[in-house]
Amino acid sequence: MKVSVRFSFGLAVLLTLAVLALSAPWVAPHDPLEQDLLNTFQPPAWFETGSRAFALGTDSLGRDILSRLIYGARAAITVAAVAAVLAALLGSILGLLSGYLGGVVDAIISRLVEIWMAFPPVLLSIVLAAVLGAGLHTVVIAIVVIDWTRFCRVVRAEVMVQRSRDYVASAVTIGLPPMRILASEIVPNVVPLFVTLLSLEMGIAIVVEAILSFAGLSVANDTATWGSMIQEGRQYVRQAWWLMALPMGCIIVSVLAMNALGDGLRELVDPLSRSARR
């Protein structure tokens, strides 16, 4: 099967990130927390004053940026995978039931979503952080709690469109029970949309983690995340712009990769868009 360039790009970037995150203790040249106060604000190695020992330079405490970026990928990947998948599953299941069953179930779920969406998300995450304490698990929970509504609404709308299609009626005429119809007729038609949304959500999750880190609501300061690196780098942006630019670059590339992967995956699972490309 022909695979698009975008898909290969997305897959390559994400696989690299995953491998780096998993093998961080072995591939990182330094301990990400190890301070070297004699070598603070080292620029990346390709600068004239750069040093071979720190390929991407050091921060205000002389910690190795490359190592911190690699450890930061761990947080990013965890959040992207766990939070996005949980939010997607929770929202989609509620959306499926809401759209397919209609009636009272739909009314309850829809009102819940509306009330939920009226609640300011930042406030919600601050409250959560206060209750649960800062940490990666708080970020994951905050993303799930805030973003399930997005899946719920979109999936519900799509299910309602699909439910009115004749192939659902024809599944009734051949005697399939309701849950079988949901599983064999409707779900496969919602999957491409789900995949697209999920890939977008993974990108959003990485960004949200960075924002929460930036606001100091994510992990404790001794763990390296891209968000906390941006937050620290911000103070020294005049002396050492790369402190901020490098983690930002990481975020941009991984979000792009996730979206590309999502588009590619949708083409793979969707016979319709496959032939449209031909």
Closest distance of CB 258 from another protein, Å: 24
Closest distance of CB 191 from another protein, Å: 8
User: What sign does the dihedral 221-226-229-235 (CA atoms) show?
Assistant: negative
DSSP code of residue 44: P
**Six-digit token string for 167:** 């192939």
Closest distance of CB 272 from another protein, Å: 5
Q: Out of 173, 179, 222, 238, which residue is the one contacting another protein (CB under 8 A)? A: 173
Cα-based distances in Å from 267 to 15, 90, 202: 19, 24, 18
Q: What angle do CA 134, 123, 120 make, to 5 degrees?
A: 140
Closest distance of CB 277 from another protein, Å: 13
Is the Cβ of residue 189 or residue 213 nearer to another protein in the bound state? Answer: 189
Tell me if 15 contacts another protein by CB under 8 A. no
Say how many residues touch another protein, by CB under 8 A: 22
Amino acid letter for position 57: G
Residue linked to tokens 């399939």: 176
Q: Out of 1, 5, 104, 174, which residue is the one contacting another protein (CB under 8 A)? A: 174
DSSP code of residue 30: S
Number of residues in the chain: 278
Closest distance of CB 96 from another protein, Å: 16
**Six-digit token string for 140:** 């994951």
Contact region for another protein (CB under 8 A) — 36-44, 124-132, 161-169, 216-224? Answer: 161-169
List of residues 6+ apart from 273 with CB closer than 8 A: 192, 266, 267
Residues 175-204 that bind another protein (CB under 8 A): 175-177, 180, 184-185, 188-189, 191
Q: Out of 167, 221, 239, 245, which residue is the one contacting another protein (CB under 8 A)? A: 167
Judged by DSSP in three states, 90 sits in helix
User: What sign does the dihedral 132-230-215-124 (CA atoms) show?
Assistant: negative
Is the Cβ of residue 125 or residue 189 nearer to another protein in the bound state? Answer: 189
Tell me if 161 contacts another protein by CB under 8 A. no
For residues 265 and 36, what is the distance between their CA atoms, to the nearest angstrom? 44
Closest distance of CB 155 from another protein, Å: 16
Q: Out of 107, 169, 220, 237, which residue is the one contacting another protein (CB under 8 A)? A: 169
Q: Out of 19, 108, 111, 165, which residue is the one contacting another protein (CB under 8 A)? A: 165
Closest distance of CB 181 from another protein, Å: 10
Binding mask 242-271 for another protein (x = CB under 8 A): ----------------------------xx
Is the Cβ of residue 249 or residue 271 nearer to another protein in the bound state? Answer: 271
Binding site for another protein (CB under 8 A): 165-167, 169-177, 180, 184-185, 188-189, 191, 270-272, 275
